[in-house]
Structure 1
Amino acid sequence: MRNLDIKNFPLANKKTEEFRKCNVKNITELQYKENNFKDVTNFDFDFSNLDGFNKIVFANEKIKEQKIIDNIILKENRIIINKECKNPILVLNYYDDENTIFEKELTYIVETNISIFEIFISNNKKNLINQKREFSINNSIDVEYIYLQKLSFEDFLNIKFRPIIHENAKLKFFSFNFGASNAYNQFNVNLEYANSTFNMEALTNISKKQEIANIVNTIHNAKNSSSTVKANHILDENSHGIFEVKARVNHEANNSAVIQNSKTTLLSDDAIINANPRLEIFIDELTASHGATTGSLDEDILYYLQSRGLSKKQASIMMLEAIENTILDKISNEQIKNIIKEI
């Protein structure tokens, strides 16, 4: 067992502006053991019936199973997706230990239009899951990446995403956060190539004392580059949502577009949202907007649905499902949509 050395771990601290609203004390004071890559025999998540995917299953950071039906190369911490790849990719990360540090870097090198679905699920508690995901997306390639975490309510997640999006390429990033005690999703997006696009749609649906942060730093350095960051939060009980988004548009990025938006539905008087969209703009020729709204479920709509025979609980569930569906409907793969709904 060892204490976490905060100096060598890229986690939040009081001196980091982006984390000034995050509570990491309960993480850094725990003791953790090293990952021993123990074998996992039983899964809470049934992946065996998922057909039509290139599947890679990591259990405690070790490859448990892989079923590759297309031309994909797996080298150490890289997944190389070649032009001949036609089917979507499912990457399942499963954790079955306690008080353990899991640290993994994974890079996707993408040479064809593709959907990638990556899931993080755990079976135990108080693990520290520290991850890095990088993307290299070739010219004129469209990638749809769906990230979903439903870790146990006592696990801690710190994950960093860094995409490299080449000329005329697009990354559509979908983020679904349902689990973990504390989860910090960090995005460093440098748009260095002309006509590159980063679009992000995030859904955070949490309760209890969960704290989920989406922290996005985007730098526009190329002309006609585009970034959109939108997040919907559904917060109940004592949960805490954080939307900390900053975009910088430099002098070389003429005719770029920047959109930031946060929408929060508070289901409890004790739930908290900190939303801080920010723009730093150094050019005149661009399209830009940012905003944040917070409220409860619309009482007029609730009343209308109840007048049609639904109970208040049924009406509330219907309205919350409508919020989730605004994001789910933008995912192109129907099977991925159904998996998310089941989870």
Structure 2
Amino acid sequence: MKVVEIKNLNHDILPTKKVEEFRHFNIYPIFEKELDFSIEENIDLNQYAYLKDEHFYNIFLINNELVFENELNNFLNVEYIEFEDSVNSLYNLNSYLNNKSLSLTINKRLDKPLNIISIFKGDDKFFTNSLNITIKEDVDILETFHNESSKNFLVSANRKYTVLEAVKANIAKIQTLQEGQVITNYKTCLQKDSKLNLVNLEYKANLSLNIFDSKLENQNSILNIDGIVKNKGEQRSGNIAFIEHLAKNTTSDIKIKHLLDEKAHCLFDISSTVQNSATYSKAFQNSQTIILSDDAKINANPRLQIYVDELEAAHGASCGTLNEDELYYLCSRGISKQKAKEMIIDSIELKVIKQIELKAIRRYIKNLKRLSHV
């Protein structure tokens, strides 16, 4: 079955040819592939025990169900709620298969970070994965999207993060889904004086697309998004965001670094709107790209729409190659040119990973990168 053949599907939610020509990033063909919509039952989680870490509370998200230890019952509440719409039309795709969203509420402060491990098992399958997280206390969360041997699959993942008043949430996602396509739709709701730090690390997927829908409707709320995209072959990655500032003294800061080799292709399409009610706000966008081959390319389109004078705002996009002076310096110390390139690339990645505050999460990511050979 094809996604475009889903019963009663409103095809208006899928990308239009006009929009995709504008972005030079056509994803429509993935919805016309023959995919298996059935769910793999009775997945043995013991085979994924190596993804667990004693320094975390480890939670598995399998077939839109959360599996975790009883010790977390006092801290977490899980329920199913009605599906919400979004200005991002692809967010609504999952509702055609399941009109309920999984809701996770963090009620109390945890003494360890959460590691939410999403497993996708099966070739030529279409997976839906929807999770709303409500955060009532400061928390550190890592989301791990992982598979071992599945091929030619499509993941449609929705995430809604609700951060309550005066709460700080640090959320990182590492995606190592080789031989597949993954579309992650984000929706955020930040209450007064709250802060959400998002760090996205994208590796290996044939297609990886992140779409952010964020309205900053409450005073002094802060949204920071940092990301690294490391693509080669014919891999494609995109980051699309619709950010709207509606309240006073709100902040959004979106920074994505791209490392592109061979025929890799990336998209950076960010639109930030600052309404006249959002005085003294800050809106920043930045795309930095390192091109490692003649055939790699990026389409960068940062945009600001500003309707108020009292604010700080900046946007930019840079594109270049590795620093020749740095290469020369390393090679002059007896390091091979290939190794020198790898060292510089690693240092660029590390700058993004260091945006993750918690050392335990940075260490976990380092180990998973080693296991996944990225």
Query: Normalization by structure 2: what TM-score?
Result: 0.86
Q: Take 1:292 and 1:275, find their aligned partners in 2: how far apart are those partners?
A: 7
**Alpha-carbon deviation of 1:328?**
1.2
Residues 184 and 209 in structure 2, CA contact (< 8 A), matched pair in contact too:
yes
1:71 maps to 2:72? no
Residues 293-325 of structure 1 show CA distances to partners (whole Å, capped at 9, x for unaligned) of 101101111001111121111111110011011
Quote the residue 1:40 is aligned against: 43
Deviation at 1:231, TM superposition (A): 0.5
Alignment of 1:108-147 (within 5 A): 108-122=133-147, 123-147=149-173
How do 1:19-98 and structure 2 match up within 5 A? 20-41=23-44, 45-47=48-50, 49-63=52-66, 65-66=68-69, 68-69=71-72, 71-76=75-80, 77-98=102-123
* Residues 109, 138 of structure 2: 8 Å contact kept: no
Aligned partner letter, 2:298: I
Which residue of 1 is the match for residue 226 of structure 2? Answer: 201
Contact 1:39/1:59 (8 A) holds in 2:
no
How far apart are the structure 2 equivalents of 1:18 and 1:222?
Answer: 34
CA RMSD of aligned residues (A): 2.0
Determine the structure 1 residue equivalent to 2:213: 188
Q: 1:321 is matched with which residue: 339, 346, 353?
A: 346
Question: How far apart, in 2, do the equivalents of 1:145 and 1:193 lie?
Answer: 20
Question: How do 1:253-264 and structure 2 match up within 5 A?
Answer: 253-264=278-289
Alignment of 1:177-326 (within 5 A): 177-326=202-351
Helix, strand or coil: the match of 1:193? coil
Contact 1:60 1:96 in 2 (8 A): no
Indicate how the Cα distance of structure 1 residues 84 and 18 shifts in structure 2: closer, same or farther if over 3 A, else same: farther
Alpha-carbon contact 2:14-2:28 (below 8 Å) kept: no
CA contact (8 A) 1:215 1:245 kept: yes
State the shift of 1:288 in Å: 0.6
1:23 CA drift (Å): 2.1
Q: Is 2:185 aligned against 1:160?
A: yes
Judging changes above 3 Å, is the alpha-carbon distance between structure 1 residues 284 and 225 closer, same or farther for their aligned structure 2 residues? same
Task: State the shift of 1:85 in Å.
Answer: 2.5
Q: Per residue, is there more strand in 1 or in 2?
A: 1
Structure 1: segments with no counterpart, 5+ residues: none
Percent sequence identity is 30
| Residues in 2 aligned to 1:231 and 1:176: alpha-carbon distance in whole angstroms | 10
Counterpart-to-counterpart distance in 2, 1:29 and 1:79? 33
Distance 1:125 1:323 in 2: 29
Shift in alpha-carbon separation, 1:2–1:18, aligned structure 2, 3 A: closer
Q: CA deviation at 1:51?
A: 1.0
| Cα distance change of structure 1 residues 10 and 118 upon mapping to structure 2, 3 Å threshold | farther
Report the count of equivalent residues.
342
Stretches of 4+ moved more than 6 A in 1?
Answer: none
| Residue 72 (structure 1) shift | 1.4
d(CA) in 2 for partners of 1:64, 1:194: 36
Cα distance change, pair 260–3 in 1 and its aligned pair in 2 (3 A): closer
Does the aligned pair in 2 maintain the 1:12–1:19 contact within 8 Å? Answer: no
The aligned counterpart of 1:4 is 4
Equivalent residues of 1:33, 1:100 under 8 A apart? yes
Stretch deviating more after TM superposition (51-60 or 286-295): 51-60
Verify the 8 A CA contact 1:137 1:169 in the aligned structure 2: yes
Structure 2, unpaired ranges of 5+: 81-101, 370-374
* Secondary structure of 2:189 counterpart: strand
Cα separation, partners in 2 of 1:242 and 1:260, compared to 1, 3 Å: same
More helix by share: 2
Structure 1 counterpart of 2:263, one-letter code: N
AA aligned to 2:317 is A
Question: For the Cα contact (< 8 Å) 2:124–2:153, is it kept in 1?
Answer: yes
Residue 330 of structure 1 is matched in structure 2 by: 355
3-state SS of 2:214 partner: strand
**Residue in 1 aligned with 2:175?**
149
